[in-house]
Amino acid sequence: MAMKYSRIPQTEIKISQLAIGGMSFGKPAMKTYRWILNEEETDKMVQHALSLGINFFDTANVYGMGTSEKYIGNSLKKHQVPRDKVVLASKVYFNDGRLSKAAINREIDGTLRRLGTDYLDLYIIHRFDYDHPIEETMAALDNLIKEGKVRAIGASAMYGYQFQNMQYVAEKNGWHQFVAMENHYNLLYREDERELIPICKQDGVMLMPYSPLASGHLTRSTWEGHSKRNATDTSERAKYDHAKEQDMPIIKRVATLADQHHVKMSQIALAWQWAKGVTAPIIGATKEQYLDDAAQAVDVELTPDEVDYLDEPYTAHEIVGALDQNPVGMLPKDVK
């Protein structure tokens, strides 16, 4: 098994075809996230990922109230990992001022300080901001690139028309556009195939979905799991439990193909992502074995008929998760 690599569009930034999700790391700050890894555990996971050839780390200022960024940065510093050997992405929005110019300028400095670096490879807006003009946000992001604090920008979790509007404003003003989209996409939730994903593909924007394994539902043949996250993360249950009857036929097909290929269900689910044009699905691993399984998935290839077999049972789903105009979980003003 050898890791495979791609590049962030319009850049020379080389990324592994798997990203490690930083939401799994940090000091638990809310009851919902009691399952995340402490600093020692985070260090082990970061170094294990690097040993597998995974060089792409995606975190956010709000994860662990800033401690996810801090733990990742501390691990890289502790082991003297050269800066050009890792690709660091973080996100902004769940903070005072959301995507205002002042907030973006303040939050990038905090993120860089916690990660222990003087630049980010990819800076992602965590949500669409209904409270501030698109022009203000895109101008501020463009300026970060000009200042050298950010190499490229991306977006996350919004409707297709919102993403298109933001891209249009940037193009009209000669500013940098988004080159990456971090959206909710997996075999059990494909609503973005209607608008957002076609827009990204026509514009050459790379896809780096979160929740590619549907919070573990695509890793087992039964609905219920037994991990600490399954027992404590009510937000994840809210994303999927209401659609259990719709989704079980898909899960059964994933299990069938896994048996035929003599691989794990998670590897079929990830192979489906790459077959659908995804560049780097984000894995939220809390055990080294999960990373091993994901890394081995790069060698699994599905035929067009197998992709169709997995796609066929899907029916329209209720919009869930991040597409909420008034999300909670804001980053406190005093996070350092």
Active-site residue list: 63
Own/partner pairs for 326-334, CB < 8 Å, 24+ apart?
327/94, 327/127, 329/30, 329/62, 329/94, 330/62, 330/94, 330/95, 330/96, 331/61, 331/62, 331/65, 331/66, 331/94, 331/95, 331/96, 331/107, 332/65, 333/96
Phi/psi for 5 (5° steps) reads -130, 155
Beta strands in 104-246 (DSSP E): 122-125, 153-156, 180-182, 206-207
Integer-rounded Cα radius of gyration of the chain: 19
DSSP assigned state of 87: E
Residue 28's φ and ψ, nearest 5 degrees, are: -55, 125
**Helix H segments across 60-99?**
67-78
- CA-CA distance, 143 to 317, in Å (whole number)? 38
Token pair 């989209």 is at which residue? 181
Using DSSP bridges, classify how beta strands 19-21 and 282-283 pair: parallel, antiparallel or unpaired. parallel
CA distance 305 to 260: 14
Q: Please, are residues 131 and 326 in contact by the beta-carbon 8 Å criterion?
A: no
Q: How many CB atoms lie within 10 A of CB 79?
A: 11
Q: Map tokens 């971090």 to a residue.
A: 182
Answer for the pair 145, 152: CB distance below 8 angstroms, yes or no: yes
Give the DSSP H/E element, type plus range, for residue 57: strand 56-58
